[in-house]
Amino acid sequence: MGLAERQRLQTPIAALPGEDSGAVQPLLERFAHELASRGFRIAGVTQIRIPGEAAGRKKIALRAVSGHMLYPISQDLGPGSVACNLDTGELAQACAMIERAVAQGVDLVVISKFSKQEASSGGLADAFRAAMVMKVPVATAVSPHYLEEWREFSGPLAEFVEPDLDALLAWWERVRKRAD
């Protein structure tokens, strides 16, 4: 099997440096919406911040790119709490939504990021795996703190892409050409 054939059989993953989540997450959402406007079927989630119950505090949520479904993944543990406030139940629901969409057939999966949870095989790791198994391209952000784990997880499938809409669209065009 030649290089071109192997590339066609692999799941391409666009990995964006995820240091500035406030810029990268809206970029992933714009990319998803741009491709959806061109008729492609897109599934996945981006991370947003929403007002919390405590004054001045924001909560983290995952928002479906194909609708307005919200998965609030941070929970209020009360004043003075220093425990992890991740709501793993909401995270699991978001992951299951992506897995269902992949099983039903999509052209691209957007996954907010690969970070601490995914590095330990939790979080949205199963959503990544579902896309990889079905050979569906993925666009994601990667936390700079988990680059080694990312490389182990994604292997040769991922390529780092500049966090820019034109760069993502160029990546998508390369992916589409390889698939033909």
Q: How far is CA 112 from the centre of its chain?
A: 3
Q: How many residues in the chain?
A: 180
Rg (CA), the chain: 16
- State how far the Cα of 154 lies from the Cα of 146, in Å rounded to an integer: 12
pLDDT tens digit string along 44-98?
999 998 876 655 567 888 999 987 799 988 765 555 544 445 677 889 999 999 9
Query: Domains in the chain and their CATH numbers?
Result: 11-47+88-179 (3.40.50)
Question: Is pLDDT above 70 for 31?
Answer: yes
What does the block give as tokens for 118? 């995914």
Question: Is pLDDT above 70 for 5?
Answer: no
**pTM of the predicted structure, to 2 decimals:** 0.87
